[in-house]
Chain A
């Protein structure tokens, strides 16, 4: 496969960025949006070419030049295109194209239209570097680069300082993870004298400090992929425009952690203790986020917590060593979550920027396409067969059941809750009567085709995406075999009675969730009460377990306190000590000056005494 074509995949988004970045102001919105969309679409085409090639071709490694050099190893500026990268390339550029297309319409009234597409293209560029980097340092370029774009896009409406706060928070929380990534790189480089994935895969061995590295990498993943304890930035990140939430904070960037751990599966397999931690954190996160999602009223916040919850399930799979299952769920999740987010964007667009579900309702009549696609995706995420979410989620649950029943229970609970809050979202938004103002009701309309087209495509994918890995004959597992070192342990579940029973249980669970939501919100027409009036567990959920407040209390406030303390007290103290070195001679001289009072008699007296003393010393001591 020609390397030029592969590199073009990366270059197209960069060119789009540069064109929109330098000349975007002078281009019309139409041109600028088209260029950006075409750039990603071109990238998608080359990705498809590569995807076709890799079906039975060899992975391609492209080294451009030596990037950094240390005395015992060097780091290349290179790219590695393999099966894993191919999957990500496909859905990044594919979904990316759809979301760019959607954005041309969604953002059409924004004054910084071209800037939006600059950032969006730039994001895709970094995301592609992340997945194609040939070594850990290259991956880190993409890793931080997507963080940068995420920062820029969350704070896209920069005049609102709340949004800026959210952007800053996202970047800093990610940076905590990035430090973990760096530490992981250092330990790996120190141990194996290489950061190259291919060499690492061959040369890695179990070293005593390897656990530190994998743990550090996992911390990095918790930052980027919004897991406990670093997930709090993701819900806040919904401050960004909705296409951004769909592309970055649901479909692509947040899956970077899963990508990284899958990429490094051979290291994680060597450290089972860390894998246990990953599984536990993943399961706990999925449950915690699901409970929070139960009581959110902001349509995008519900989806955000749902994303955190789904990512938790993926980490659960990773922790159990079922990398291909996690990857499967990443892909299906990308389809239905992107569809859900874009659908919510369409809704928000229709009701004039309103995001609170309590002021929606009854949109079914006005937005048929949005409703249909949203409904399909909701079914998919809730795990109803035969939609894609059913297969991927079920594989995770099956894997969990085979390893540890407790984890299975936690994950199943999270899935039941998922079904409930997703249908709650659906019913509150689309069913019953509209609860907003008259003026809003007057404006209700279906979105233009540039927005509904992507919705339809994504909904189709969300429906049929599960086919790539149906139990029994999984194309995905075969495809990923070269990537995963211990491919012998790939999980082929024999479909026995237990498995069918578990599947049945999962579907029943999802049905229960659906029914509860149905009775509550359609039969009884309940509308959630104000946040201030909730109590008990609900209050705990509504306040997100007070995690933000706890961080504020134990991290941010002490930092600020110590900052002030150092600035006002310690710096003054040190300065005082330094100046005292100057003051001591000055004070001594001031005192000594008093002896020089000009009285010659005194001088002479001192002189005589001095001479006498000297003489005494000379005669008596020698």
Chain B
């Protein structure tokens, strides 16, 4: 099988991953809606996944792709719990704006 990387090149994957990660990071910093922040986190996670897959292929080592499955499983679990928490918060204070969630201060 011809390697996908010979057609596009590893750098492009890295640039894409960086771009995705930055989008996610800025999303988290900029947006105040908890759900949007969640989505941003997922984007960052996927950027990492993308890199893992890309390097896995590059090194011709399947370990990286195995890790991606773990990551996706953890991410799914995280989303499930995270959304459940958000629902609980919304029921309590009627908002998911993180600026209003300051009860945990020291």
Contacts and interface: CB of A to CB of B under 8 A. Distances in A.
Nearest to A599: B102
A598 B29 contact: no
B28 A598 contact: no
A600 B101 contact: yes
A1 interface: no
Nearest to B34: A600
Interface in B29-88: 29, 32
A598 B32 contact: no
Interface in B89-106: 98-99, 101-106
Contact of B106 (A593, A605, A608): A593
Determine the main DSSP class of B at the interface with A. Answer: loop
Contacts of A601: 29, 32, 98-99
Contact of B105 (A598, A604, A605, A608): A598
A71 interface: no
A533 interface: no
B25 A608 contact: yes
A575 interface: no
Contacts of B105: 596-599
A91 B101 CA distance: 100
Q: Give the bracket for the number of chain B residues in contact with chain A.
A: 10 to 19
A619 to B, nearest CB: 14
A604 B25 CA distance: 9
B29 A608 contact: yes
A598 B101 contact: yes
A604 B29 contact: yes
Nearest to A593: B106
Nearest to A609: B29
A598 B25 contact: no
Nearest to B26: A608
A41 B104 CA distance: 93
Nearest to B105: A598
B106 A599 contact: no
Contacts of B25: 608
B51 to A, nearest CB: 15
Interface string A569-612: 00000000000000000000000010111111100110010000
A441 to B, nearest CB: 93
Contacts of B102: 597-599
B15 to A, nearest CB: 17
Contacts of B103: 598
A602 to B, nearest CB: 10
Contacts of A608: 25, 28-29
B28 A604 contact: yes
A421 B98 CA distance: 104
A599 B99 contact: yes
Contacts of A599: 98-99, 102, 105
A612 to B, nearest CB: 9
B99 A596 contact: no
Nearest to B32: A601
Nearest to B101: A600
Contacts of A604: 28-29
Contacts of A593: 106
B98 A600 contact: yes
A592 to B, nearest CB: 8
B48 to A, nearest CB: 13
A596 B104 CA distance: 8
Interface string A100-112: 0000000000000
Contacts of A598: 101-106
A255 B69 CA distance: 106
A598 B99 CA distance: 9
Contacts of B29: 601, 604-605, 608
A595 B102 CA distance: 12
A601 B98 CA distance: 7
B101 A596 contact: no
B106 A596 contact: yes
A596 B105 CA distance: 5
Contacts of B98: 599-601
11 contacts: A597-B102, A598-B101, A599-B102, A600-B98, A600-B101, A601-B32, A604-B29, A605-B29, A608-B25, A608-B28, A608-B29
Given A597-B105, A597-B106, 4 more contacts: A598-B103, A600-B98, A600-B101, A608-B25
9 smallest beta-carbon distances between A and B, as pairs: A598-B105, A596-B106, A598-B102, A600-B98, A593-B106, A597-B105, A598-B104, A596-B105, A604-B28
